[in-house]
């Protein structure tokens, strides 16, 4: 793999085809057809990437086709509306037929923006090439910025940095996030030699295995086959369904808060990655238990009544309690921040937090996973390192003083927009990969009872997603409580990993309690590391009151608009 993990293939006006690799290397491409291009990538190009774990597989070569390359190889520059909805060009297309004649195969998703072209493996001989076609929307602008419009050499640099620090892209950032989990924990490994000196494939400890497992009924999303016997229009409530989601909570401002001049938003860096760090998750099938004793180290889903937890008095230390204004705090147990009204299903971190706050819990039943482990640790560490290395390249270091950090963050995207696109893609890899753990069928034509392809994956694990979101939300609430107990300040709005406070100044330093450069222990700390916070945006208190009055919505979530202050009728629900 001396030429790197990938190449951007471009064609000149004279018909010459060039492959732009990482590090500035440019190769001549003699191939005149797509099948010949695939052969070249596997035999002459020396492209690929070493495996990320010993039992894993080396990454396949990635070829990125520019507009000129698409024309050169007889592919459309843009997909028709019908092709876009199908996600592929038709099997009748001449290039697809060329591949078939050359005995190359396509995966079930066909020849689309992220086509995989292969021949069945023979022993350890793997023949597979990944294509990426930016003009077919392979590089989502929400995650990759303007990468799709970059010249070939610059695009090779962006994708090359991402490949080196995360992995060679296998599809969208969401697909790659999920593939990274498997690459770090492959389902199988080679066994020790048997008596005849042969090795066999065996389960790789710490992985999810090669076979999918059913979720607990409470973990299954609506439409899942496990719920086929429910009445057609039945709506499951918290006592039937696990509602572990990110925060979307807001409240009216108090009179004292309205006398302050500014609303300041802070945002947790890589919040969901930080929530995955060190988290014990289930690896196998759930076991149902009636009236269990709660175990904070046992991953699972617990049916328990937490309505008795009173946020006006919570445990702040071993023998100390803090008095708080519960009316100005979101509940940690519901995404909308409302106090639960009775028994509901929760992931382990949520129930453990109720105990941490000083309240007893008596679960009614649970679905627990006795086979468990810290499956996401390596995934978190690789994405954390990728994020920190790229931010350091943009001038934002891990040990900066608060004032220097805020100044560096204010202009970090301007110095190198290409690396800023890599940072965006890394963050999207985190959120998208976790989202894929509970992927739903897409398309208006899908109906309950029809095939749900994601369910055939061992990595379709809604319980793991729920545990990460639960822990992320609890981590944030813990900091909010610490801050309130020490300063008497309460959030005005919380949206996912963004928290908005009323403050006398425009900077986070105007309300975060730093003393001699040191933050409140257990509270919010400015910094680039995952779990620390950055400045999300500042607007005036008058802006917030005007927006809420304009839409007659005293609890409109201002965290959604704090970054640039833009609010549309569609955003407000009008």
- Residue owning tokens 């705090």: 329
pLDDT at 195: 74
C-alpha–C-alpha distance, residues 341 and 339, integer Å: 6
Rounded CA-CA distance 165/187 in Å is: 23
**Scanning the structure block, which residue is given the tokens 């945002």?**
267
Strand-pair partners of 344: 304
Distance, CA of 188 to CA of 190 (rounded, Å): 7
Q: Which residue is associated with the tokens 């492209």?
A: 47
- Considering only CA atoms, which of 302, 282, 292, 290 is closest in space to residue 351? 302
What is the DSSP code (8-state) at residue 77?
S
Predicted pLDDT at 446 = 58
Q: Taking the model in full, what pTM does it have? A: 0.95
Residue by residue, what is the 3-state secondary structure of 404-435?
HHHHHHHCHHHHCHHHHHHHHHHHHHHHHHHH
> Which residues make Cβ contacts (< 8 Å) with residue 82, sequence separation at least 6?
none
26, containing H or E segment: strand 26-29
**pLDDT score at 124:** 66
C-alpha–C-alpha distance, residues 41 and 131, integer Å: 11
What's 573's DSSP letter? T
Provide DSSP, 431-499.
Answer: HHHHHHTTPPP-STT--TTS--GGGGSTT--HHHHHHHHHHHHHHHHHHHHHHHHHH----SEEETTEE
Residue 383, classed as helix, strand or coil, is helix
Q: What per-residue confidence (pLDDT) applies to 571? A: 53
Count of CB atoms situated within 10 Å of the CB of 460: 22
Residues of the chain with pLDDT under 70: 123-124, 442-450, 569-574
pLDDT in tens, 235-294: 999 999 999 999 999 999 999 999 999 999 999 999 999 999 999 999 999 999 999 999
pLDDT at site 444: 47
Gap between the Cα atoms of 27 and 5, Å rounded = 14
């Amino acid at each position: 793999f001396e030429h790197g993990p990938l190449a951007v293939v471009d064609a000149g006006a004279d018909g010459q085809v060039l492959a732009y690799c990482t590090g500035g290397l440019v190769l001549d491409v003699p191939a005149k057809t797509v099948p010949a291009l695939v052969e070249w990538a596997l035999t002459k190009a020396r492209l690929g990437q070493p495996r990320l774990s010993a039992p894993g597989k080396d990454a396949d070569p990635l070829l990125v086709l520019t507009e000129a390359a698409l024309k050169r190889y007889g592919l459309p520059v843009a997909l028709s509306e019908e092709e876009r909805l199908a996600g592929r060009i038709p099997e009748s297309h001449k290039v697809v037929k060329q591949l078939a004649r050359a005995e190359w195969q396509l995966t079930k998703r066909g020849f689309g923006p992220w086509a995989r072209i292969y021949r069945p493996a023979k022993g350890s001989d793997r023949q597979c090439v990944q294509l990426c076609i930016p003009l077919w929307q392979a590089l989502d602008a929400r995650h990759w910025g303007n990468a799709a419009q970059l010249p070939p050499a610059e695009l090779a640099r962006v994708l090359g940095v991402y490949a080196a620090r995360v992995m060679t892209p296998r599809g969208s950032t969401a697909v790659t996030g999920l593939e990274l989990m498997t690459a770090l924990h492959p389902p199988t490994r080679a066994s020790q030699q048997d008596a005849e000196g042969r090795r066999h494939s065996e389960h790789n400890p710490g992985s999810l295995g090669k076979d999918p497992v059913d979720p607990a009924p409470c973990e299954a999303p609506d439409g899942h086959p496990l719920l086929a016997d429910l009445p057609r229009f039945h709506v499951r409530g918290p006592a039937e369904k696990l509602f572990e989601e990110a925060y979307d909570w807001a409240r009216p401002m108090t009179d004292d808060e309205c006398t302050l001049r500014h609303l300041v938003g802070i945002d947790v860096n890589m919040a969901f990655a930080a929530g995955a760090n060190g988290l014990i998750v289930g690896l196998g099938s759930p076991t149902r238990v009636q009236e269990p004793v709660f175990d904070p180290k046992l991953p699972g889903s617990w049916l328990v009544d937490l309505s008795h937890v009173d946020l006006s008095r919570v445990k702040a230390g071993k023998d100390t309690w803090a008095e708080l204004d519960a009316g100005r705090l979101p509940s940690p147990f519901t995404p909308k921040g409302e106090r639960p009204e009775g028994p509901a299903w929760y992931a382990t971190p949520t129930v453990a937090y109720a105990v941490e706050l000083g309240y007893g819990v008596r679960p009614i039943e649970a679905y627990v996973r006795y086979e468990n482990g810290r499956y996401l640790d390596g995934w978190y560490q690789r994405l954390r390192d990728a994020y920190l290395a790229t931010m350091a390249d943009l001038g934002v270091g891990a040990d900066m003083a608060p004032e220097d950090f805020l100044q560096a963050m204010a202009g970090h995207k301007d110095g190198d927009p290409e690396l800023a696109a890599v940072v965006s893609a890394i963050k999207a890899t985190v959120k998208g990969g976790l989202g894929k753990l509970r992927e739903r069928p897409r398309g208006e034509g899908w109906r309950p009872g029809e095939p749900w392809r994601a369910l055939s994956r061992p990595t379709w694990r809604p319980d793991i997603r729920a545990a990460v979101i639960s822990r992320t939300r609890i981590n944030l609430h813990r900091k909010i409580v610490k801050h309130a107990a020490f300063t008497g300040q309460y959030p005005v709005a919380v949206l996912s990993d963004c928290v908005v406070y009323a403050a006398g100044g425009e900077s986070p330093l105007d309300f975060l309690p730093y003393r001699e450069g040191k933050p409140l222990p257990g509270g919010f700390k400015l910094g680039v590391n995952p779990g620390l916070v950055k400045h999300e945006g500042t607007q005036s208190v008058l802006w917030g009151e005007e927006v809420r009055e304009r839409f007659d919505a005293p609890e409109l979530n201002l965290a959604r608009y704090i970054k640039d202050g833009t609010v549309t009728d569609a955003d407000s629900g009008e």
